Amino acid sequence: MIGSHQLSAVKEVKEHLTKNINRCYNDPNYYQTQARIDIVATTQDLLQQEIYQL
């Protein structure tokens, strides 16, 4: 059950990344916006990890 749950999550992430990569490739303005969103999301993740470790 857990393995199929993880596989499903991986497939969702793959679909999301594929959609974003295609859109970024075809629309430079979207690429710039997406890059900023990804930086903010990564920063939030790192901050949450840091807080969790404290």
- pLDDT by residue (tens digit) across 8-44? 877 888 888 888 778 877 888 877 887 888 888 888 8
Instruction: Report pLDDT for 2.
Output: 53
- The DSSP string of 2-50 is HHHHHHHHHHHHHHHHHHHHHHHHH-HHHHHHHHHHHHHHHHHHHHHHH
Split into its structural domains, the chain has a count of 1
Query: Is the pTM here over 0.75, yes or no?
Result: no
Domain coverage including residue 38: 2-53
Per the CB < 8 A criterion, the answer to whether 23 and 35 are in contact is no
